[in-house]
Amino acid sequence: MADKKALVVVSHGSKRKESNQEFKDFIQKLNKINSEGRESEYTAIKGACLEFASPQLEIVIKNLMTSKYEQIDIFPLFIFAGYHVRKDIPERMEELKTKYAKLKYKILEHPAAADDFAHYIFSQILKGK
């Protein structure tokens, strides 16, 4: 049997309820795409927040570990490698690793690190003209 692998998309979280709902809607869209039979190794896609909103990253990881996930990919939904990407998320994940000895995780690249991200942004700008 293949390992259970989850994707956790991490956002900042907001004091604004509508922004948090937009994030939850985005996670639903990712789950829909994932369930359409595309080549994906993820059996779960979850959203997690760092501040101001729930579910918090620590709760999402706890729930996935309780559900016996063997591998968790962390996608920081932050455009650039600021504090949360460089320091906060890695430190939180290392702290969780000490709490859950079986936790295996990989922090994926932030969006602007992808070669095609600038092309995507420029195409969106041109669409808006």
CATH number for 101: 3.40.50.1400
Cα–Cα distance measured from residue 14 to residue 63, given in angstroms and rounded to the nearest whole number: 22
Q: Binning pLDDT at 50, 70 and 90, where does residue 2 land?
A: low
Q: What is the distance between the alpha carbons of residues 31 and 17, in angstroms, rounded to a whole number?
A: 21
Q: How many folded domains does the chain comprise?
A: 1
Q: Is pTM, for the whole model, over 0.85?
A: yes
The answer, yes or no, to whether residue 1 has pLDDT greater than 80, is no
Q: What is the per-residue pLDDT across 4-39, written as a single tens digit (0 to 9) for each?
A: 999 999 999 999 999 999 999 999 999 999 999 778
Task: Encode pLDDT of 95-114 as tens digits.
Answer: 999 999 999 999 999 999 99
| Structural domain boundaries, residue 38 | 5-127
Q: Are 69 and 44 in contact (CB under 8 A)?
A: yes
